[in-house]
Amino acid sequence: MRYSQAFIPTVKEAPKDATMPSHVLMLRAGYARMVGAGIYELLPLGVRVLHKIERIIREEMDAAGAQELLMPTFLPAEYFKESGRWDVYGPTLLRIEDRKGGEYHLAPTHEEIVTDLVRREVRSYRQLPLNLYQIQLKYRDEPRPRAGLLRCREFIMKDAYSFDVSEDAAQQSYADMRDTYHRIFQRLGLEYRVVEADSGAIGGKQSAEFQVLAQTGEDRIVACDRCDYAANVEVAEAGRAETHESGAAEPAALEKVATPDTRSIDEVVAFFGGKAVAADTLKSLLYIAGDQLVLAVVRGDHEINEIKLARHLGVGEVLLATDGAVREATGTEIGFVGPVGFEGRIIADPDAIAVANAIAGASETPYHYRNVNYGRDFEAEVASIRQAASGDRCPACEGRLQLYRGIEGGHIFVLGTHYSEKMSATFLDEEGKSHPFVMGCYGIGVSRLIAAVIEQHHDEQGIRWPLPVAPYEVIVTPIGKEEAPLAKATEIYGALRAHGVEALLDDRNERPGVKFKDADLLGIPIRLTVGSRGLERGTLELKKRTEAASTDIPVDDAVAATMAALRELRG
């Protein structure tokens, strides 16, 4: 492709609301443009990257025996109502009425639709196992779309669905897809971790996320420094934390202390000076769980895991109580709530009840209690409700957990009969008996992976694409106003294309600095620079995007040297 004919609208500055590196760089480098909140159009370079990712996914899915199909995204409401998700999805589901008043929605996922297809078409165990996948648009009315392609209302997903005759067979399908995802993420050039995860609105018995490690990621994950244990903090098992030295102290008399302007744990610790640390305090938060208010208590240096709390309470979700609800229930302000004297239901984490002579809110503004002890001063249901954190003991070995940030790139589930039973999707076994299909589902955020790759592969100058997903493999850059560099660059460009290399010829009438900056911004893996002085010496420059220095190579060896460099990048 000639740059002069390409649609690559680069800009110097991204909008102020673009803060993630991938969001900034995709806008600046002309890969994407925003149409509305959480809605983006991919420009030609973005589409080329998208197709590279899709090709890798298709190759690995096909090699694993999955078969591609294409399901609609405009769907009748009846299928989600049959499974019960019409209400579960709530406002996230984009609902539509046709001109006759019929109820429809835009698909956030396709479990019901593919289950309906299979229950109509598959009758016998002889037709199983079956794995069907698609690469298709999905729609979710995100309350806070942000970060460019990382959290959109419209996005492209690869979703696959397996159907098996038994739990053991379904586990094998799950393992096969897990292996397939490893190959996909490795080919994409990503550093990632596979972590235990919550199944959320998808449902099912078991799930794991493929988390792309990135400091800018919105997900928090923990991984052991000695074994393979890793999990999203939402579901990670929090091993018992180290006990602070005060934990061995004898119970002291309960004492109420006036503590003005001490609403946070840090403020409480600062008020008591060197006599306390965060691990000596109790953090008490009031939650709405269905039709009841509950007080959740964790150690002051820990965070409450709302998913674990909801599971313990047997509800779908818990909501942090508003300032008004806290005042009505306790008669005090946020920051001063505590378990002593609380008349409602209290859930306390094991590490919280282990704190001796703790500092906790007195449920009276502006006071805290000192020397609070579980069993003497308050009672509670004890349940693990805190988030795992760096330094915790690994639940699987003697190692320690380390905290990372990640971007969810893929999610795999064992669904069991969650959908097939609800939708009466069955097959006949060898004896003619009817059984529900045992299912699995496997998603990859295809458009999200464009941004995830950039989050891992960029520098101050721009993107640094791994070769397998780069929009072009080589950019040939003639510099100078003379005709010779452009002529030779055009010749090399043609020779590279004849060898199957995806090349971009920067034939624009621009200064060398502009061309070099744009090449770095676009992230093309190899740049060949053809200049008048080099041609006089019979050389040109070859520079890899990931390296600071360029290399002079003979002009006559340009194609061979470039092919060698590409082989090196492919590994």
Q: How far is CA 363 from the centre of its chain?
A: 39
pLDDT digits (tens, 9 = 90+) for 277-302: 999 999 999 999 988 999 999 999 99
pLDDT at 202 over 80: no
CA separation (Å) from 65 to 118, 171, 395, 445? 17, 16, 36, 20
Q: Where does CATH 3.30.930.10 sit in the chain? A: 3-237+403-454
pLDDT digits (tens, 9 = 90+) for 390-400: 888 888 888 99
Please report, as a single letter, which amino acid is at residue 290: G
68-90 core/surface letters (b: 16 or more CB in 10 A; e: else): eeebebebebebbebbebbeebe
Domain covering 245-382: architecture: Alpha-Beta Complex (3.90)
Q: Where does CATH 3.40.50.800 sit in the chain? A: 472-570
Q: Where does CATH 3.90.960.10 sit in the chain? A: 245-382
> Could you give the percent of the chain with pLDDT greater than 90?
81
What are the backbone dihedrals phi and psi of residue 86, each rounded to the nearest 5 degrees, phi first? -60, -35
pLDDT at 99 over 70: yes
Average pLDDT over residues 440-452: 97
Question: Alpha-carbon distance 437 to 429, whole Å?
Answer: 11
pLDDT digits (tens, 9 = 90+) for 26-53: 999 999 999 999 999 999 999 999 999 9
Q: Does domain 3-237+403-454 have CATH number 3.30.930.10?
A: yes
CATH homologous superfamily, domain 472-570: Anticodon-binding domain (3.40.50.800)
Sign of CA dihedral 495, 496, 498, 499: positive
So what's the pLDDT on residue 244? 56
So what's the pLDDT on residue 201? 53
Question: Alpha-carbon distance 327 to 345, whole Å?
Answer: 17
Kindly report whether the global pTM for this prediction surpasses the value 0.95.
no
Q: 19 pLDDT band (50/70/90 cuts)?
A: confident
pLDDT digits (tens, 9 = 90+) for 50-79: 999 999 999 999 999 999 999 999 999 999
Q: 243 pLDDT band (50/70/90 cuts)?
A: low
So what's the pLDDT on residue 204? 58
What are 452's two structure tokens? 């995830």
Q: 109 pLDDT band (50/70/90 cuts)?
A: very high
CA separation (Å) from 350 to 142, 301, 385? 35, 14, 9
So what's the pLDDT on residue 455? 96
pLDDT digits (tens, 9 = 90+) for 343-374: 999 999 999 999 999 999 999 999 999 999 99
> Could you give the percent of the chain with pLDDT greater than 70?
97
So what's the pLDDT on residue 200? 59
